[in-house]
Chains A and B, each alone.
Chain A
Amino acid sequence: MEIAVLLKQVPATESLIEITDDGISIKTDDIKWVINPYDEFAVEEALQIKEAHGGSVTIISVGPEKTTEAIRTALAMGADKGILINDPAAEGCDGLSTARILAAVLKETPFDLIIAGQRAVDDDNFQVGPAVAEFLGIPNISMVIKQEIIDAKIRCHGTIDGGTVILEAPLPALFTTQRGLNEPRYASLPGIMKAKKKPIDIKTLADIGLEADRIGKPLTRIVAMQIPPERKGGRMITGDSAQAKAVELVRILHEEAKVI
């Protein structure tokens, strides 16, 4: 089973996000970069599938050179090798052009299974996984919490709003992860040592046969960013007893805020 995991390096979720002077990007100086949490589930699931069915796990990413840190972490968890597309022409890609680059890599090396995070927690786009599957002409199943591979098929439990659905697809296929799929392992010390010797191929767009103009001009552009108005602390409900506080709260919510 040849498995590819699509991975993005993102700011840790505890990061304080600030906007730069250009108004359309964020300050990156003090940010701690990590593997996108949904991609961590993808790495873990790929490793479990490899442990059950054999094969290898390849981590594929598009990003600046420091993305190798995140790829190295996935290799320390147990993945076999990494491919990073690092090209100035790939900067400023939107979700669709990123998907086009990833699909070009995946066309060069065929895989039985591709696993992606449902979204990256920076752009929150939910677009790359299904778009990669579309460009490769293979099926995708979104927001998976459980999967099993039988013969040349994969059966996935996907979450939908208000329930779950079980779908089956022939391989090769792509699925995206949902929290609950697994508990990602920590890299062990021997794993970290081994990872230092594992290969990470750093390639340009030309290396994968993609001319810069073929990834297409971004179809979506950020034209402004703002920090949402900060919520201000309001009033503490006081009262002689818990009962009095509850009565006062419900009165306010009903009569003043008019939300119940």
Chain B
Amino acid sequence: MSQGVLAIAEQIEGVFRKVTYEALSEGRRIADRLNCDLTAIILGADLDNISKELGQYGADRIIVAQSPTLSEYLTDAYTTVIADYINKENPAVVILGASTQGKDLSARLSARLNAPLAMDCVAIRFEENNIIATRPMYGGKILADIALDGNPQILAIRPNAMTITNTAGAGSIEKLDTDTGNMVLQFIEKSLDTGKVELTEADTVVSGGRGMAGADFTVIEELAQLLDGAVGASRSAVDEGWRPASDQVGQTGKVVSPNLYIACGISGAIQHLAGMSSSKVVVAINKDPEAPIFSKADFGIEGDLFEIVPLIAEQVKKLKGRI
């Protein structure tokens, strides 16, 4: 019989993604409800220094699959190692972050294991002893409750949706002998935007739209940096070539749920609203008092963003004692 919860940890260059802590914390809550253990699995080439950190987020056991062939995420090798482990241990629930990597991995795992997958969950609850996963559809215009049949039940959770809980436990570390099988994907190189906060994981997002009137996003970037946040953009700003596609917030871009979303010069098309409506607090700054964004924002300022945003940045600096 299937038993236990398995959380798949994601690290890049020896640093865990924030969503990994969210997946472990939610996995711990599920394990407590099912009265079973939470096991974390981590893959990589050099994990000695970071593995035990997973115990601080509720993992009873930490399975370390360490091999030079696992130094970079490759769909085929990672799927094989994790699927083999799942087949051996037979967990009832598998939980992981729905990052770009987590989406790719969970989709392939679901097919390999013929297992149900709820993608991009924003909430997980129990009805009697069955898991019900809530996930957005239609770019967040709908929230659907999903029931899963079969084992293991794979839950890929949306970044920034679940609470991180620290625990006192330590977690026992076990090395896993890995066989990556026949690998055909080959890693060539990667480039990381160093020092940038990932848009989907950011606590604060400052976005610019058509009102930016050009590629100069300096005022937005400065405010985002002061707030340790990320820069976003509306579709029109991306279509104009002012920002890269990876910055796009909306139904055909990224869906974000930060604590604070500041929309600057964004009118608020339905596709954009779908991408940011689950933010906790929304601020809109726009010259046009009739802009639809004001009807969805907690706080609005009518005015020229190039005048207002630097003034806000100055106030934030004062608040943080940097002046």
Contacts and interface: CB of A to CB of B under 8 A. Distances in A.
Given A14-B271, A167-B185, A223-B132, A180 B142 contact: no
Interface of B: 12, 17, 72-76, 79, 98-101, 103-104, 106-108, 110-112, 114-120, 132, 135-150, 184-193, 196, 198, 200-201, 204, 227, 238, 244-246, 248, 251-253, 259-260, 269-271, 273-274, 277-278, 280-283, 294-304, 307-308, 311-312, 314-316, 319
17 contacts: A14-B269, A14-B271, A122-B137, A124-B139, A142-B100, A143-B104, A160-B101, A163-B193, A165-B189, A166-B189, A219-B116, A219-B148, A223-B132, A228-B140, A228-B141, A233-B296, A249-B315
User: Which of A122, A170, A224, A249 gathers the greatest number of chain B CB atoms within 10 Å?
Assistant: A249
A242 B307 contact: yes
A121 B319 CA distance: 41
A15 B252 CA distance: 13
A26 B142 contact: yes
Contacts of B283: 249, 253
A169 B143 contact: no
Interface in A64-122: 94-96, 99, 121-122
Contacts of A222: 144-146
Nearest to B260: A259
Q: Taking chain A's interface residues, is the majority helix, strand, or loop, or is none over half, making it mixed?
A: mixed
B140 A164 contact: no
B245 A260 contact: no
B111 A37 contact: no
A63 interface: no
Given A14-B271, A96-B110, 19 more contacts: A15-B138, A124-B137, A126-B98, A126-B119, A143-B100, A161-B100, A161-B201, A163-B191, A166-B188, A168-B185, A180-B246, A219-B114, A224-B144, A236-B301, A246-B301, A250-B316, A253-B281, A253-B299, A254-B319
